[in-house]
A = this chain, B = another copy of it.
Amino acid sequence: MSSNPDRIFTAGLCIIGDEILSGRTQDKNIAQIARWLQVQGIRLAEVRVVADVEDRIVEAVNALRNANDYLFTTGGIGPTHDDITVDAVAKALELPVIIHPEARAILERYYADKGGLTDGRLRMARAPQGAELIRNRMSGAPGLKIGNCFLMAGVPHITAGMLDALTGTLEGGLPLLTETVGGFIPESEVADLLRTIEGAHDRCQIGSYPFFREGRVGSNFVVRSTDADELRACVDAMCDALSGAGWDFTPGGI
């Protein structure tokens, strides 16, 4: 799909899963989906992590799909009793749940030599009426696209496969470009300098990300813009100012 330079496209992400909220599982989908969206020219505007409770999912899905161009969900599309994403999204969209014939056919083939299509497995063919499939080469069970909502797996490498299948199919704007400069520089020493440089470059944002490493304090400064020339000018101005103040830094960040 072509990119549209005239506006900013945004996405919301709803992560469905008690295992994230209990701290049992370290989420990896936020970063993975955020990076993929940037390449599509779409900005991740908000993430909500909600429990496996239908009302909570419905509320988050409606808030995020209405506030953004796209909504992605991860988790809760498997075969077990705690997989209720399809029902919740259908409820949010006021659509009935059907057995998707193409999904059923895919699962029948996938499980042909693995014991066949049990009731539990057939749950993975359920879809809000009108949904299209997002292919999943890893495990048979497809993701779903309905309206501006994309329902994906919770297991990160299956999600990755679904993102691959979607690459280039969504309308986006200009991709956000970033450049990083880092050093063993306490951010509190350069806070005024950063504020001045950002103020002088309207179309750029500067993020400051402190770290502690090898017993020393440092920061990475990330400049973001959709305009390559503006980005270059802002980074150059920041580097000149840091040099002028006597700081050592590393292009690319440390």
User: Which residues of A pack against B, CB within 8 Å?
Assistant: 15, 18-28, 30-35, 37-38, 43-52, 56, 78-82, 111, 114-115, 118-121, 123-124, 138-139, 155, 157, 176, 178, 186-192, 194-195, 198, 205-212, 217, 222, 224
A15: chain B residues within 8 A (beta carbon):
47
Could you tell me the distance between the alpha carbons of A50 and B46 in the complex, rounded to whole angstroms? 5
- Closest CB of chain B to A42's CB: distance in Å? 11
- Closest CB of chain B to A250's CB: distance in Å? 16
Q: Which of B80, B186, B211 contacts A195 (CB 8 A)?
A: B80
Could you tell me the distance between the alpha carbons of A2 and B49 in the complex, rounded to whole angstroms? 29
A45: chain B residues within 8 A (beta carbon):
21, 51
Could you tell me the distance between the alpha carbons of A38 and B21 in the complex, rounded to whole angstroms? 10
Report yes or no: B198 in contact with A81, Cβ–Cβ below 8 A: yes
Among A33, A138, A222, A224, max chain B CB count under 10 A is at A222
Report yes or no: A79 in contact with B187, Cβ–Cβ below 8 A: yes
Report yes or no: A191 in contact with B155, Cβ–Cβ below 8 A: no
Report yes or no: A44 in contact with B30, Cβ–Cβ below 8 A: no
Report yes or no: B19 in contact with A44, Cβ–Cβ below 8 A: no
- Closest CB of chain B to A190's CB: distance in Å? 8
Report yes or no: B26 in contact with A31, Cβ–Cβ below 8 A: yes
When C-beta atoms are compared, the residue in chain B nearest to A176 turns out to be: B22
Report yes or no: A210 in contact with B49, Cβ–Cβ below 8 A: no
Report yes or no: B207 in contact with A18, Cβ–Cβ below 8 A: yes
Report yes or no: B47 in contact with A121, Cβ–Cβ below 8 A: no
- Closest CB of chain B to A225's CB: distance in Å? 13
When C-beta atoms are compared, the residue in chain B nearest to A208 turns out to be: B80
A44: chain B residues within 8 A (beta carbon):
21-23
Q: Known contacts being A46-B50, A46-B56, is A207 close to B82, with CB within 8 Å?
A: yes
Report yes or no: B46 in contact with A194, Cβ–Cβ below 8 A: no
